[in-house]
Amino acid sequence: MVTSTHEGMHRIFQERPEILAPVFEVLEVPLSGKATVDAVTTDVTETRPLERRVDTVLRVAQSNGEDFLLAIEAQSDKKEAKAASWAYYIAFLQAKYHLPVLLLVVCQDRATAKWAVGPFKCGTREWTAQRTYPLVAGPDNLPVITDIRTVANKLALAVLSAVAHARNPKCAAILEAIGTVLQDLQETDPETVGYFAEFLEINLGNTPAGKKWQEIMSFVIYFPGRGTVRERAYLEGKTEGKAEGKAEGKARGQAAGEAKGVLLVLEVRGIPVPDSVRERITTCTDLDRMDTWLERSRTVERAEDLFAEDPESPETGPETA
Q: How many whole angstroms separate alpha carbon 149 and alpha carbon 17?
A: 20
> DSSP class of residue 41?
-
* Residue 77: HSE in the Cβ half-sphere, 13 Å Cα cutoff: 1
- Same domain flag for 110 and 11: yes
Asked if the structure places residue 78 within a domain, the reply is: yes
- Same domain flag for 239 and 302: yes
* Listed residues 174, 200, 220: the one ending a domain: 220
Asked if the structure places residue 142 within a domain, the reply is: no
Count of domains in the chain?
3
Bridge partners, 38 (sequence order): 59
The answer to whether the CB of 180 falls within 8 A of the CB of 33 is no
Range list of H helices, the chain: 4-15, 20-27, 82-97, 110-116, 148-153, 155-164, 171-185, 190-204, 208-220, 228-240, 246-268, 275-283, 287-296
Is it the case that residue 231 has pLDDT exceeding 80?
no
pLDDT in tens, 151-186: 998 888 898 899 888 888 899 999 999 988 988 887
pLDDT at 233: 46
Asked if the structure places residue 321 within a domain, the reply is: no
More confident site: 123 or 245? 123
- Same domain flag for 80 and 193: no
- Same domain flag for 122 and 8: yes
Domain that includes residue 264, residue range: 228-316
- Same domain flag for 113 and 9: yes
Range of lowest pLDDT (26-40, 110-124, 210-224): 210-224
Is it the case that residue 235 has pLDDT exceeding 50?
no
Average pLDDT of the segment spanning 62-91: 85
The answer to whether the CB of 84 falls within 8 A of the CB of 114 is no
Q: Beta-carbon neighbour count of residue 100 at 10 Å?
A: 13
Q: How many whole angstroms separate alpha carbon 93 and alpha carbon 264?
A: 35
> What does pTM read for this prediction?
0.57
Among residues 248, 195, 202, 254, which one has the least CA distance to residue 229? Answer: 254
pLDDT in tens, 39-72: 675 555 443 333 345 567 888 887 777 888 888 8
Q: How much of the chain exceeds pLDDT 90, in percent?
A: 15
